[in-house]
Structure 1
Amino acid sequence: MSPDAPPNSADTPWPVRTLSLKLADWIHRLGQVWVEGQLTQINARPGTRTAFLTLRDPAADLSLSVTCDPNLLRRSEVPLTEGSRVIVYGRPSFYTGRGTLSLRITDIRPVGIGQLLARIERIKQLLAAEGLFDARRKQALPFLPHTVGLISGRASAAQRDVVAVATARWSTVRFRVCEAPVQGPTAVPAIVDQLALLDADPQVEVIIIARGGGSVEDLLPFSDETLLRAVGACRTPVISAIGHEPDNPLLDLVADVRAATPTDAAKRVVPDVAAERSAIESLRDRNAHALRNWVGRELRTVEGLRARPVLARPQRLIDEQRAVIDRFRADVRRAVGHHLTVEEHRHAQLAARLATLGPAQTLARGYAVVQRLDDAAPHAVSSTEQLPPGARVRIRVADGAVGARVESAETPNSEGTSS
């Protein structure tokens, strides 16, 4: 359009041809570019002067039409087939008549193993930085899942191995098998779709992605970023069973459990009924043995307690205390008897002294005690002055007493008798 053309607006819209020409002009300005992708379709008919290819982005659901000289494909050092990773050099073109975008290439180079491994390493570092390989994200497998989801190739040996081994180990296990391509350009979209289908099924408790190994190129889908992110987002535990030991695909790092082979995955997903029964019998034997040992120890403890003197002869303590009491009682009796003996001896001594000093001994030697009886109160007299003539007296001698009346009194200086 000329510079004087009116601006685009609702009143002055562009016709389709104008928009197509402007798009073609902008795309043609891009010039020659290098592009990496995966071949998904090759159409090079004999006798034609143009080969038609489809170049797909492995990490996204995008593709681009590519055209080239058929001799360019024939001159490749490595045969190019569907699924090959390539780098192409060409100019993008927009065909205004059909409104399509195409890439006309003049160079095509297969991506070597080293380049593939470097690409896988870059994806590995990216996902590791995002934490998709973190062990804390791993989910534990159920002990005995109700239904096992299985993604594998159609009628593949990996599928047969998983089902046969798991069924032999636990006959009631159920499988929901989803078949999908496990290599080539259509593998990743198909596996992602089947994975989403199984993850949405509430009866599926664990998912196995199985393949029986292969070359590095064959295993590229299992290191695809799209598939890895889909596995990382699964709510159902996922087992990676690719069966390729030398070069582990990145799926082994993202999956919750990595199995060395499909057979190993079958062994991990369900327990072995024979082994479980053997383990139960072993546990029963161990429990019975432990119980017998415990009962034996308790019986020995009870026997030891019963053998103790305090329980074997509970009256022994009473007998011992009774003996102590009897000993104390004998000691008390002996002490009291000794004390009584001492006091009796002392009393006898005092009685003897008292008898010696008392009037009885004096009377026994011929003396007498004279008591006057006619006074108000009888009393002993000690002087003749207390005995006037005619006084009534009582004379007490050693063997008795007699009554008498005083007729006269004598003093040591006078004569006379008394009666």
Structure 2
Amino acid sequence: MNQQAASSAESPWSVSLLNSKVKGWIQRLGHVWVEGELAQMSTKPSWKLSYLTLRDVEKETSVQLTVPTQMVLGHEPPLSTGDRVVCYARPAFYEGRGSFSLWVTEIRHVGIGELLARVAQLRESLQREGLFAPERKQVLPFLPNRIGLITGRGSAAERDVLAVSKDRWPEVDYRVINTAVQGSRAVPEIIDALQVLDADESVDVIIIARGGGSVEDLLPFSEEALQRAVAAAHTPVVSAIGHEPDTPILDNVADLRAATPTDAAKRVVPDVVAERELLSEATTRLAQALRGWVARQEEALQALRSRPALADPYLPITQRSEQISQARDRIRRTIEHGLARAETQTASLRAQVAALGPAATLARGYAVVQALPRDGSDPEVITSIAQAGPATNMRIRVADGSIAAVSMQTFAKD
């Protein structure tokens, strides 16, 4: 069988050939620089080679390191689990076991100054991106139904948050997820816990808490992957990393920064005693305001009731009725007085007319002489002798009747 030909079901490769080819491919990669955190160290002075595990600081990914024991034991400063290191190594594949590792020829500790410089650079980049902008931060609920807490198992931060919260509001409900809060496992575990709590609709706010630590211990809270996860969360996130004076980037990205886990509990959970005092004070003010309003309304009603129109609703009608009666009496008296005066004037005029009329004159002995025309026209009162020539028919009216006469002769006035 030609072992260099392409493999197939009919002509498969042997395991040794496969491992040989894999080794060849891997060796072509050459030397690389790799950064991570030392997670495990297996070494003994009697061993020629030591075996270390280098873990990614942001993901659950690791690689095996094969290091000369003399390098491990003689390294200054000494290597220990949790150290942040950068290794110069060549990828290697051991054919006999089919295992992969990095053959390390140099190990360097990553200096704290370099790490802080990277943090500062990342902080500036995220700020330009807008992850620190106040307008993107969410407002915490006044009284959350349930609080998510991400912290170390059995840590002082967990005890402080729960104890202070219970003192402030005994009915507060927590969902606690314990994770690593330092080391290479911290970032992936915190991100997983954050995503679980963010997906829980009953959780109204999430607290990420740790009780302080060294600069190296706090580095996971400045990793970019964690900042992206917090910025993408729909639930408000509170950063409660007890530390001074260094500030991890999580403080800038979170919706609220608390100085300590205890401060986070005070910022998230309202004080039931203080709230009850506020309610009592508000109740007292409301009661006083209500009593004052009722008193003012009673005074206003009393003032209305004291008005004549409300004290005796019929009084205006009675007054108007009396006014109408008085006016009617005045009108009646005025009319009667006018009628009496008119009657008096009429009688006086009647007497004058009677005194001046012909009947009164006739009654005093006078007579009215009228000429009776022969053509039958209306009689004419004779006021001149010229109207009564000889043989003029006349009618003489006296008080009790008339006399027919004929003129015989007229005489002129002397």
Alpha-carbon offset, residue 302 of structure 1: 5.7
Cα separation, 2, equivalents of 1:386 and 1:208: 157
Which runs of 5 or more structure 2 residues have no equivalent in the other structure?
none
| Residue of structure 2 in register with 1:87 after alignment | 86
Alpha-carbon offset, residue 353 of structure 1: 12
Q: 1:386–1:183: structure 2 CA closer, same or farther, 3 Å change rule?
A: farther
Cα separation, 2, equivalents of 1:387 and 1:252: 157
Q: 1:263–1:26: structure 2 CA closer, same or farther, 3 Å change rule?
A: same
- Amino acid of the structure 2 residue aligned with 1:238: V
Q: Is the 8 A contact 2:37 2:85 kept in 1?
A: yes
Q: Is the 8 A contact 1:369 1:380 kept in 2?
A: no
Q: 1:82–1:352: structure 2 CA closer, same or farther, 3 Å change rule?
A: same
| Residue of structure 1 in register with 2:389 after alignment | 385
* 208-217 or 262-271, which deviates more: 262-271
Q: Is the 8 A contact 2:371 2:388 kept in 1?
A: no
| Residue of structure 2 in register with 1:223 after alignment | 222
Alpha-carbon offset, residue 384 of structure 1: 2.4
Q: Is the 8 A contact 1:392 1:403 kept in 2?
A: no
Q: Please list the CA deviations of residues 328-372 of structure 1 after superposition, one character each: whole Å capped at 9, or x if unmatched.
A: x99xx79x98xx99xx89x98xx989998x868998999742136
Alpha-carbon offset, residue 65 of structure 1: 1.4
The answer to whether 1:239 aligns with 2:268 is: no
Q: Is the 8 A contact 2:39 2:82 kept in 1?
A: yes
Q: Pairwise mapping of residues 152-301 of structure 1 onto structure 2 (< 5 A)?
A: 152-298=151-297
Q: CA RMSD in A?
A: 4.5
Question: SS of 1:385's equivalent?
Answer: coil
Alpha-carbon offset, residue 279 of structure 1: 1.0
Q: Is the 8 A contact 2:396 2:402 kept in 1?
A: yes
Alpha-carbon offset, residue 204 of structure 1: 4.0
Q: Is the 8 A contact 1:242 1:260 kept in 2?
A: yes
Cα separation, 1, equivalents of 2:240 and 2:281: 32
* 242-251 or 230-239, which deviates more: 230-239
Q: Is the 8 A contact 1:371 1:378 kept in 2?
A: no
Alpha-carbon offset, residue 132 of structure 1: 4.3
Q: Count matched residues.
A: 395
| Residue of structure 2 in register with 1:8 after alignment | 6
Cα separation, 2, equivalents of 1:205 and 1:402: 134
Structure 2 length as normaliser, TM-score? 0.75
Q: 1:101–1:125: structure 2 CA closer, same or farther, 3 Å change rule?
A: farther
Q: 1:404–1:131: structure 2 CA closer, same or farther, 3 Å change rule?
A: closer
| Residue of structure 2 in register with 1:148 after alignment | 147
Q: Is the 8 A contact 1:35 1:89 kept in 2?
A: yes
Q: 1:178–1:381: structure 2 CA closer, same or farther, 3 Å change rule?
A: closer
Alpha-carbon offset, residue 280 of structure 1: 0.8
Alpha-carbon offset, residue 303 of structure 1: 6.5
Cα separation, 2, equivalents of 1:292 and 1:49: 92
Q: Is the 8 A contact 1:92 1:103 kept in 2?
A: yes
Q: Pairwise mapping of residues 29-44 of structure 1 onto structure 2 (< 5 A)?
A: 29-44=28-43
Cα separation, 1, equivalents of 2:76 and 2:204: 47
Q: 1:403–1:196: structure 2 CA closer, same or farther, 3 Å change rule?
A: closer
Alpha-carbon offset, residue 214 of structure 1: 0.7
- Amino acid of the structure 2 residue aligned with 1:369: V
Alpha-carbon offset, residue 284 of structure 1: 1.0
* 99-108 or 154-163, which deviates more: 99-108
